[in-house]
Amino acid sequence: MANAYHDHRVEQRLVLGQGGIQTLEARFTKEQKEIELAQAKLDDLRKGLQIPDAIGNGASAATLLSDEKLRKIEALRLEGKTDLDKKNQLTQAKEARAGVDSQRGIH
């Protein structure tokens, strides 16, 4: 009788274990489908917004501007702005002198 009870309990545990595994497999399948739907929606949005795959997938450092390149570009931009400001000041000074000279009658 003890063996029959023991066998019965083992069988119950196996049935419960199988039920738990089936529940987990069902949940896994459901979540996989949700992930696939989300990925499809993301792909549609990326196409609609014209976002390149490289950016959407987290592009590598080689494809994006590095901090060093950005610093160099910014330095060149500032240098160009400084040169432009100097030229503008020289032009304004020449125009001011030309105005004073024309008032004096000097050509």
**What digits encode the pLDDT tens for the residues 46-80?**
889 888 776 556 555 555 667 788 889 999 999 99
pTM here? 0.39
Hey, what are 10's tokens? 């083992």
C-alpha 99/C-alpha 93 separation (Å) is 10
C-alpha 105/C-alpha 96 separation (Å) is 14
Alpha helices in 1-107 (DSSP H): 2-48, 53-56, 67-104
Q: Are 40 and 48 in contact (CB under 8 A)?
A: no
C-alpha 12/C-alpha 24 separation (Å) is 18
